Amino acid sequence: MSQRTIRRQIPLALTFIVGIIITANWFIDLTPLNDLGNTITNFNTVMVAFMMGFAGVNILMIHTRRIQKNMSQGNMLDVFFSVLLLGALIIWTAVGIFMGRSSDTYQWMYTNFNLPLSSTAYAATLFYLASATYRVIRARSTETTILVVVSIVVIMGNMPMFVTYIPALMTVKNWLAEVVVTAAYRAITIGVGLGGILMGVRTLLAMETGFLGGTED
Amino acid sequence: MGENGGIGKTLMNLPTWLYFGLIILAMGYITLYPLGFPIPISDQTRYVYAAVDELQPGDIFFVDMGYESGTIAFMEPGMVAIFRHAMTNGVKLVIVSSAVESPMLVGRLMDKVKPESFGYVYGTDWVHLGYFAGGEPAYASLLGDINGLVTEDYQQTPTSQLPLMAELGAPTADKIDLVGIWTAGGDVVEGWIRQAAVKYDLTFITEVNEMMVPTILPYYPINCDGIINGGIGAAEYENLSGFAGEAIKLSDMMTMGGLVVLVFLILGNIGFLMTKGGKS
């Protein structure tokens, strides 16, 4: 079997067969076909889980090399961050494998490290948002003046204090969201959908081969 | 530049510490001394309430708990209120997670919901199946044949020992009465809408953070029957369902945070217009 057959024709044939089955599974209610479709999508879930494990190994390799490089260049702060990352990766993996993902230790580590760090990082974005709103949203032109007015209405419409005493704010905010914004988003969504169909058909017909990597010989 | 230009420049360049400090002060004050503003209820929240309220005892509510710890402050209160409302009606819950962290948040969520106070038994009335990788194809698998994909729950108990899982055959979607998605990512909701609401015509509700709501609106109210709009929506739901909780307490804080942002937005623009006037 030639290299071309192995690297191109077999993957393209598999893509075509799997794509046809999954597409048919969506439209046709036939038990054997639906069972086959479910088996293939289950296989996808297993593959993605495997890829996440592979990503962990990749991080390990990249940061091991980075530590070596930064040590030789004397960038000790970068070394510290890489060691911290790898240490956390190794400890989490070890606790998960040997003590179980639902063990008290695993849960304790999550509750006392991840939860406060992640919540703090997210909460801090409020300050950046406030800063950006103050410094960037300026009525420089007709378009940006509309943006300022809409921003004020939406912010006020999201605050119970204003909506209680000015009920029209909620009506205006909802109209903006459900008519103006939705119209724009629907147009984008339909465009993306049509693009997706086109890309799907091209992939099934082997006209898109970028996912195979490399270029045709 | 005249006097207006000077004031305008000052308003445009207020020091960072001032508005950061004011945000902290305003939110701190309102936490200690809540004002208890009334909470008007939007149609989007009313539709979620109606979808949960229509469920009958024994109906199955399929939930994707897809948020992570960063968004817990406004996701969890909405989930607690909706779960308690569903449990009042005797609805069974199947919980999965499309976010890696979420399974570790189910414990603290259920500590607040207290299923045992509604007479719920794990395995019979609710199950927690943990995280699933794979995005939209995984959603298709879960709705197609959940028992073909899942062999054990998050606690590693075989699903064959969980009576609720025996009720979910293939196609699993035929046994589900309501789908609810909690996530900070709009693309997750869109994937679930395609798989649950479009393919199987299931009743569909979701809670996302405020900034993601516009991405869901194209599907509302035809494919997505109701939306909880972040923390404000959660407060509305608590108010509507009578299960007052953390969201109502937080709503004053969100109001004050928004108020400070609003004041500075207006001040910045007044300053900008004054400076422009000074130049002209």
Q: What is the tens place of the pLDDT at every residue in A150-163? A: 999 988 888 888 88
CA distance A180 to chain B (A): 10
Cα separation, B272 vs B266, whole angstroms: 10
In chain B, the percentage of residues whose pLDDT exceeds 70 is: 96
Distances (CA, A) of A165 to A162, A168, B68, B235, B251: 5, 9, 35, 18, 16
Mean pLDDT of chain A: 88
| Res B51 pLDDT > 60 | yes
As for how many domains chain B has, the answer is 2
B20 and B112, same domain (yes or no)? no
Interchain proximity B268–A137, CB inside 8 Å: yes
Domain check: are B55 and B10 in the same one?
no
Kindly state the percentage of chain A with pLDDT values over 90.
39
- Whether the link from the prior residue into B38 is cis, omega within 30° of 0, is no
| Whether residues B84 and B23 fall in one domain | no
Q: Search chain B and give the residue with CA nearest A168.
A: B40
For the ranges A3-12, A57-66, A125-134, the maximum mean pLDDT occurs at A57-66
In a domain, B274, yes or no: yes
In angstroms, the first-to-last Cα distance of chain B is: 9
How far apart (Å, rounded) are the C-alpha atoms in residues A110 and B24? 27
Instruction: State the pLDDT confidence band at A128, using cuts at 50, 70 and 90.
Output: confident
Instruction: Please state, in angstroms and as integers, the Cα–Cα distance from residue A76 to each residue in A5, A81, A91, B137, B236, following that order.
Output: 49, 9, 22, 43, 51
Domain span including residue B265 = 2-34+253-279
Cβ contact, residue pair B19, A131, below 8 Å: yes
**In the predicted structure, residue B4 carries a pLDDT above the cut 80:** no
Name the residue type at position B270. I
Residue A80 has pLDDT above 70, yes or no: yes
pLDDT in tens, B20-32: 898 889 888 888 8
ipTM: 0.79
Does the distance separating the beta carbons of B251 and A160 come in below 8 Å? yes
User: Does B15 share its domain with B67?
Assistant: no
* Cβ–Cβ contact A122 with B under 8 A: yes
Residues B17-29 as b or e (16 or more Cβ within 10 Å = b): eebeebbeebbee
Q: How many CA atoms lie within 13 A of B17 on its CB side?
A: 0
Q: Find out whether B245 and B231 touch, Cβ atoms under 8 Å.
A: no
pLDDT (mean) for A58-66:
94
Q: Residue A116 has which token pair?
A: 């406060």
Q: Do residues B64 and B187 both lie within one domain?
A: yes
**What residues form DSSP beta bridges with B158?**
B152
pLDDT at B192: 94
Flag whether pLDDT at B280 surpasses 60: no
Q: Does A110 touch chain B (CB under 8 A)?
A: yes
Is residue B70 within 8 Å of residue A118, measured between CB atoms? yes
Contact present, B81 and B234 (Cβ < 8 Å):
yes
Please judge whether B268 and A135 are an interchain contact, meaning their C-beta atoms are less than 8 angstroms apart. Answer: yes
One domain for residues B20 and B101? no
- Chain B residues touching A138 at Cβ < 8 A: 268-269, 272
Q: Do B171 and A34 touch (CB under 8 A)?
A: yes
Nearest to B214 among A129, A148, A181 (CB): A181
pLDDT at B278: 46
**Predicted pLDDT of residue B52:** 96
B27 and B138 housed in the same domain: no
Res. A217 pLDDT band, cuts 50 70 90: very low
A130 vs B126: which has the higher pLDDT: B126
| Mean pLDDT (whole number) for A127-133 | 86
Q: Give the pTM.
A: 0.85
pLDDT of residue A19: 92
Collapsed DSSP state (helix, strand, coil) of residue B169: coil
Whether residue A122 has pLDDT greater than 80: yes
8 Å CB contact between B248 and B233: no
Query: Is the domain of B129 the same as that of B258?
Result: no
B37 to A129: CB separation less than 8 angstroms, yes or no: no
Domain range for A161: 125-217
Structural domain includes residue A165 = yes
Q: Which two tokens stand for residue B109?
A: 């969520």
β-sheet bridge partners, residue A2: none
In terms of DSSP bridges, do strands B60-66 and B178-183 run parallel, antiparallel, or are they unpaired? parallel
